[in-house]
Structure 1
Amino acid sequence: MIAYTERLPYTGSPEYDKHFWNAMRGNDSSYAELSKGRNIETGTYAMPNTANNKYMAALQKESLFRNIGTLIKAYDFGYRIFAKNSNDLAQWVPESDVIPIYEGIDDFTISTVDSWKLAAFVKMDEAFVRDAGFDIENYLINRFAKNFGRAEDNAFINGTGIQMPTGILDATNGADVGIATAEITYDDVISLYFSVKPEYRRNAVWLMNDETALALRTLKDSAGNYLWRNSDDTILGKRVIISEYMPNTESDSKPIAFGDFSYYWVIGRSPVSVKALSEKFALHDQIGYLAFEFLDGKLIRHEAVKVIQINTEAIG
């Protein structure tokens, strides 16, 4: 687990900020002043609060799922997700009648949250780093945001749940299969849309890669009407989102997902932490930077997102 010698308020001080960026410029003596922000497990140091806020803003721009999913900050050592499971509704009650009480026994499902470690590494020429005019803070923030954002999205789609988050395409804990087909047709896309309950269709979006999107742009109904509306890039009024990490339309793949992705929770487990590696690359006049995130991701309601399953063997 992640352990800090002191919790994070210390990283908001001007002194911590100054010493942190001095350390990033290769001044190893500054690390002595950063001990309260040290991550014991990795030997890295939490970003100052101001820089971490900038980093989170940059990461949200890079990460698709941090925009369509739900972000949860859970820095405590233990954490569980309670997901409402019932279909109870409000009911009209005549005056003086008994109020009906919901008796469901499976009112909540409980999911545990893990703390998976994601690492990113970048190198820079020492001449740039030590140049007082070089904006090392914004450079590192944007580099790490891009690296982490891409890795996160890949895991949130294809993750196995083993030493990484559980992706929406996971066979066991991912999205439900809405329809199985040998080849995607106009009617298949319509069927996938209606396989999702109305409550999840309200804020639903489509997710696919470029190749699948290109194929769907050419689909027409029997009257010659296109499925895809070019004026606003929607299908049946719902926005299409493109991700390079969605698979192509091949046997046993799940190339299209549709639903309410707010039920995919991205759970931050600790702030990003960084350490400069000065000696390791000194012979090349470079400084390396190693950064870590600890996070998890889960689709807490599998029926909220449905996928098309391509299965040529199952369709006779």
Structure 2
Amino acid sequence: MQTATTEKAPELKSVETIGQAFSDFMTTFEMFKDANDERLGEIEKRMSADVLTSEKVERISQALDAQKKSLDRLALKNARPALDGGREGADPTRVEHKQAFEAYVRRGDERRLRGIEEKAMSGATGQDGGYLVPEETENAIGARLAKLSPIRSIASVRQVSGAVLKKPFAIGGPAVGWVGETAARPETAAPTLAELQFPTMELYAMPAATASLLDDAVIDLDGWISGEVEQAFAEQEGLAFIMGDGVSQPRGFLDYDQVAETNWSWGKIGTIATGVAGGLPATDPADVLIDTVYALKAGYRQGANWVMNRKAQASLRKMKDGDGNYLWQPPQVAGARASLLGFGVVEAEDMPDMTAGSPAIAFGNFERGYLVVDRVGVRVLRDPYSAKPYVLFYTTKRVGGGVQDFDAIKLLKFEA
């Protein structure tokens, strides 16, 4: 028995194609199931699993996580949009903007860029200075953020030109009813309206470049800037959309008041208790997950997703239903999401761990529940003085966010 448990987890290999990476991932998942089945069998026979078997399961689970990240990176790399504003047939205005922006980034020549923005009647510089990046670069940053930022990838995203998005809603719901074809239409009571506000906050990144990089004509500086800032933007967004307090940053869905689902009211996030502090019940733990699914109304369940961090996902990956089927299933195709009880799993490292009292797992229709607000325009300020001999590029965008439908998100809280 112990001979099998001393097998090593699969080593990560350098892969060049999504197909090869996906094949390796599925092979590792089969190894994980075999090892975990062995662990569960030992628990059933001896009431505890062999230490070596448990360690083997953990090693393979970690390899599975690493391979999934590698697979996602390959899919993301293939999804990177081309910044080809200079191709034949492109909009002359966009080509001019791209060329002027490149001159500014490489040499600090802002004359052409200033002229273009003055013609567009947008003030040449923003509050903190800088110039708008070409539209292709802004679109590339936005497209990649949608894949890199976990909550943005499943939330509603709206672009605005102002500083605040105001969204009215009827507290009592819409006034509707049935009426006959020729019957009198009774006057309805005036709806009570309230207003949600989503202010946009400034998010910045400051990549640095060497003089040799700026002098290299082969380097696509638009692509370099978008590649440098998108990861930094995604990390900051990911934290703010979950934990942000709404002060100089978006408000995360975990920052709102949380109440037991039986006491839910508008403006609060409903929670379902696991019944065990810091863990799931030892008997029929899947029942708690099912209760969480059905705490969400039927109209919201279509398009719903689980949101949790890597550690929580690793724990749920080992669970089976009453028929012996694994609750966690790998993605069906490369680039897709894994699933839990048939609903997609979104891995967000900023979600809390499964500790006593923590809302470590969220479930909901985030497209209806959470709103991300992007103010149009990404600005870049070239700074060759603050960190000589490097040139800094102070890149800013304005982003807001908050819950727009409090009935669309539920939290699984690890408490008694």
Amino acid at match of 2:149: S
| Mapped pair 1:240 → 2:345 | yes
CA distance in 2, matches of 1:102, 1:25: 64
Aligned to 1:208: 308
Report if the CA contact (8 A) 1:249-1:255 is conserved: yes
Instruction: Measure the CA separation in 1 of the matches of 2:268 and 2:150.
Output: 17
> How far off is 1:67 after superposition?
2.3
- Which of 351, 376, 385 matches 1:279? 385
**Alpha-carbon distance between aligned partners in 2 of 1:110 and 1:172, rounded to the nearest angstrom:** 18
Q: Is the 8 A contact 2:382 2:393 kept in 1?
A: yes
- Following superposition, the deviation at residue 99 of structure 1 comes to 4.9
Equivalent of 1:180 in 249, 273, 280: 273
Distance 2:229 2:296 in 1: 36
One of 354, 358, 375 as aligned partner of 1:249: 354
* Equivalences for residues 1-316 of structure 1 within 5 A: 12-30=93-111, 32-33=114-115, 36=118, 38-83=124-169, 85-87=171-173, 93-99=179-185, 103=189, 105-106=191-192, 108-172=193-257, 176-181=269-274, 182=277, 183-184=279-280, 185-222=285-322, 224-230=324-330, 232=332, 233-262=338-367, 263-282=369-388, 284=389, 286-311=390-415, 315=416
SS at match of 1:166: coil
Q: Please state whether the residue corresponding to 1:137 is helix, strand or coil.
A: helix
Identity %: 26
Bigger Cα Rg: 2
The answer on whether the counterparts of 1:47 and 1:274 sit within 8 Å (CA) in structure 2 is yes
Instruction: Identify the residue that residue 8 of structure 1 maps to in structure 2.
Output: none
Residues 146-178 of structure 1, C-alpha deviations (whole Å, 9 max, x = no match): 221221122111111111101111133887133
- Tell me, yes or no, if the aligned pair for 2:114 and 2:124 is still in contact at 8 Å: no
* Counterpart residue identity of residue 392, structure 2: G
| Change beyond 3 A, Cα 1:231–1:165 | closer
TM-aligned CA distance change 1:264 to 1:84, over 3 Å: farther
- Counterpart of 1:177, as a letter, is G
- Matching residue's letter, 1:304: A
Distance in structure 2 (CA, Å) of the matches to 1:304 and 1:55: 28
- Residue identity opposite 2:355 in structure 1: E
Which segment is superposed worse, 224-233 or 116-125? 224-233
Q: List runs of 5+ in structure 1 lacking aligned partners.
A: 1-10
CA distance in 1, matches of 2:218, 2:327: 53
Q: Distance in 1 between matches of 2:139 and 2:102?
A: 15
Deviation at 1:307, TM superposition (A): 0.6
Aligned equivalents of 1:269, 1:296: Cα separation in 2 = 8
For the Cα contact (< 8 Å) 2:304–2:343, is it kept in 1?
A: yes
- Encode CA deviations 1:75-128: one digit per residue, 9 max, x unaligned: 12453012455555875544534456654733x431112121111111121101
With structure 1 as the length reference, what TM-score do the two structures score? Answer: 0.84
Q: Could you report, residue by residue, the CA deviation over 1:270-307 in whole angstroms, capped at 9, with x for unpaired residues?
A: 4111111112233x3x2111111111001101110101
Contact 1:175/1:304 (8 A) holds in 2: no
Higher alpha-carbon deviation: 150-159 or 166-175: 166-175
SS of the aligned residue for 1:257 comes to strand
How far apart, CA to CA, are the structure 2 residues paired with 1:145 and 1:231? 25
Asked whether the 8 Å contact 2:157–2:374 carries over to 1, the reply is yes
Cα deviations across residues 230-287 of structure 1 (Å, max 9, x unaligned)?
Answer: 47532222111111111110123211110100121111124111111112233x3x21
Quick check: which one's helix share is greater? Answer: 2
Query: Hey, what's the Cα distance between the residues in 2 that align with 1:95 and 1:254?
Result: 51
In the alignment of these two chains, the number of paired residues is 299
Q: Could you tell me the TM-score, scaled by structure 2's length?
A: 0.65
Aligned-pair distance for 1:191? 1.2
CA displacement 1:184-234 (0-9 Å, x = unmatched): 232221111111111111111111111101111222345544333447532
Once residues 408 and 170 of structure 2 are traced to their aligned partners in structure 1, the CA distance between those partners, rounded to angstroms, is 12
Verify the 8 A CA contact 1:218 1:226 in the aligned structure 2: yes
Q: Normalized per residue, which structure has more strand?
A: 1
Once residues 187 and 251 of structure 1 are traced to their aligned partners in structure 2, the CA distance between those partners, rounded to angstroms, is 19
Give the distance between the partners of 1:131 and 1:70, measured in 2 at CA: 40
Indicate the SS of the match to 2:206: strand
Residue 53 of structure 1 and its aligned partner are, at CA, apart by 2.3
The letter of the residue matching 1:168 is: F
Q: Is contact 2:170–2:191 with CA below 8 Å preserved after alignment?
A: no
Supply the distance in 1 between the matched residues of 2:220 and 2:177 (Cα, whole angstroms): 60
